[in-house]
Amino acid sequence: MNAAAAAVHELLPDESIPWTGLAAVATVIICAYDCRRWSCLVEALESVRAQIPRPERVLLVVEHNDKLLKMARDHWAEDQGEVPVSVVANRRSPGLSGARNTGIEETASPVIAFLDDDAIAQSGWLERLLLTLKRPGVLVCGGWATPADPSIIPCWWPPEYDWVVGCSHVGLPIGGGPVRNVIGCAMAFRREVFDLAGVFDEGVGRLGTNPLGCEETELCIRLTALVGGQPIHLVPDAVVRHQVEPERYTWCYFRRRCFAEGRSKARVRARTSSEATSVEASYLRRTVLPAIVDAGSDVFRRRPGALRRMSVLGAGVGIASAGYGSEQILNLGRRARAAPLITRRSSSRQHASSPFNPTRASAE
C-alpha cells in the first residue's frame, strides 16, 4: 500500500456507522424514467419498504419525466407509512449517473443503497448488505440478481451472458467475497465512498433505453485505486428478482447490449486503467471459452438450442470487441479534434505574453 492509500485508510472510520444492532441507517435510492414501467416501479419500491430492518427512507429520483414525477408524488403523498418515501426530480445531467448523483446529494445517511426500478428486493436483501458493510474495510457491496420469470428464457440463451439482461451471470463467485465491481441493480455504499472517491461519472452510463453502462464499474475501480485492499464485496444471498422484459431475450437486444458494453468498457478504460478490462479477459478465458466447448458437445448430442447457443457465445465476444474498438476510434477522433484547439489556445497565450506582441507593446 502506498503512502497516499495508507493516509486514506487512516481516515476510514470502520466503526462510523452508528448502528444499534441493525437500526435504520440506510436510504435506498430508486431511479425511474418511464411511465410504462409504473407497475414494476411500485412493486420495487414496496419491496424495499418491507425490508427488515426498515430503511431510513426510500428516495425516488425521476429522470426528466414530468408525468412520471406527478404520478409518483400523487401516489405516495398520502402513504408515508413506517418507511417514508421522498420523490425528487433529477437535477443533474440526463441519464442514470446524473439521477443517482441527485439522490446522493439528497441524503446524509451512513449507508446509501440503490435498487433498479424493475428489481424486487427479496426478504433479507438489505440486512445482508448492511451486515457485510459492517465488516472492517468493506466500503461497497452488491447483491445477486435473478430473473423474475425464468419461463421466458429461450433454450438457446447462454447463462454466461445473463449480465446482458441485468442479472448475475455464470462465472461470478457463487460463494461471494471480493470483486472488482458490483452489479448496478442492487448495491450499497458506505457514505465515505462518495466523500473519498467522488460520485458517479456522468459521462458514463445508461441514458433512457440506450444500453450503455459501467458507471458503477468506473466508480469501483476509482475507489480501489484510491484506498487499495479489497473494499468491494459480492453478497450472493442478498437477492433481488429482476423483472426482465421478454424483448431482452432476443438476438436484436443481445447484439445492441454487447456492442454497448464494449463501448462502455472502452470509456471506463480511458478514464481509469487497464483494470477496466482485466476481469473481462479472465471471464473470456475461464467462462466463455469452456461454455463454447460445452455447447459444441451439446450440438453433437442434438440438444435443443445448442448450436444457436454456441454461436451466440462466440458472437457476443466479437460484438463486444467491435464496440470496444469503435469507441477507441471515436476517442482518437475526439483527441485529434481537440489537439488543434489546445494548440491554438496555447499559441494565443504565448503570443499575448510575448514581449514582441505589437498589441501589448502599444498598450504599454
Answer whether residue 89 is part of any domain. Answer: yes
Number of domains in the chain: 1
Residue 219 clears pLDDT 90, i.e. is over it: yes
Would you say 165 and 153 are in contact if contact means Cβ atoms under 8 Å apart? no
- Give the per-residue pLDDT at 267: 86
Once rounded to an integer, what is the mean pLDDT over residues 207-220? 78
198 in a structural domain: yes
Listing DSSP states for 187-254 in one string gives EEEETHHHHHH-S--TTSS-BTTB----HHHHHHHHHHHHH-S--EEEEEEEEEEE---GGGGSHHHH
> Considering the entire predicted model, what is its pTM?
0.84
Q: Answer with the residue of higher pLDDT: 273 or 74.
A: 74
Q: In whole angstroms, give the CA distance from residue 293 to residue 117.
A: 37
Q: Look at residue 7 in the predicted model and tell me its pLDDT.
A: 45
Burial class (CB within 10 angstroms; exposed 0-12, middle 13-18, buried 19+) of 177? exposed
Residue 23 counted as domain residue: yes
Q: If you average pLDDT over every residue of the chain, what do you get?
A: 86
Q: Round to whole Å and give the CA distance between 182 and 264.
A: 15
Residues 35-54 have a mean pLDDT of: 95
pLDDT tens figures, 284-335: 999 999 999 999 999 999 999 999 999 999 999 999 999 999 988 887 776 6
Q: How sure is the predictor about 209, in pLDDT bands with cuts at 50, 70 and 90?
A: low
How far is residue 155 CA from its own chain's centroid? 28
Mean pLDDT, range 207-216, rounded to an integer: 72
**pLDDT band, residue 16 (cuts 50/70/90):** low
| 164 falls within a domain | yes
Q: Would you say 320 and 211 are in contact if contact means Cβ atoms under 8 Å apart?
A: no
> Residue 20's pLDDT band (boundaries 50, 70, 90)?
low
Angle among Cα 206, 211, 214 to the nearest 5 degrees reads 55
CA atoms within 13 Å, Cβ hemisphere of 217:
25
Please state which of the ranges 80-94, 137-151, 348-362 shows the lowest mean pLDDT: 348-362
The pLDDT score that the predictor gives to residue 361 is: 37
144 neighbors 238 (Cβ within 8 angstroms): yes
14: Cα within 13 Å, side-chain hemisphere: 8
Say which CATH number the domain at 33 has: 3.90.550.10
Residue 2: pLDDT above 80? no
Q: Is 36 contained in some domain?
A: yes
Q: Report pLDDT for 280.
A: 87
Is 349 within a domain? no
Residue 182 within any structural domain of the chain: yes
pLDDT of residue 346: 47
Predicted confidence at residue 286, as pLDDT, reads: 94
Q: What's the one-letter identity of residue 243?
A: Q
Distances in Å between the alpha carbon of 190 and those of 46, 95, 234? 23, 23, 15
pLDDT at 122: 98
The answer to whether residue 264 scores a pLDDT higher than 50 is yes
**More confident position, 183 or 331:** 183
Separation CA 98–CA 201 (nearest Å): 8
Q: Which domain holds residue 42?
A: 3-246
What is the pLDDT at residue 356? Answer: 37
Q: In this predicted structure, what is the pLDDT of residue 333?
A: 72
Query: What pLDDT shows up at residue 339?
Result: 61
Segment (H or E) for 60: strand 57-62
Share of residues in the chain with pLDDT > 70 (%)? 82
- Give residue-wise pLDDT tens across range 133-174: 999 999 999 999 999 999 999 999 999 999 999 999 999 999
Locate 84 and state its grid cell: 417514508
Q: Give domain status of residue 206, yes or no.
A: yes
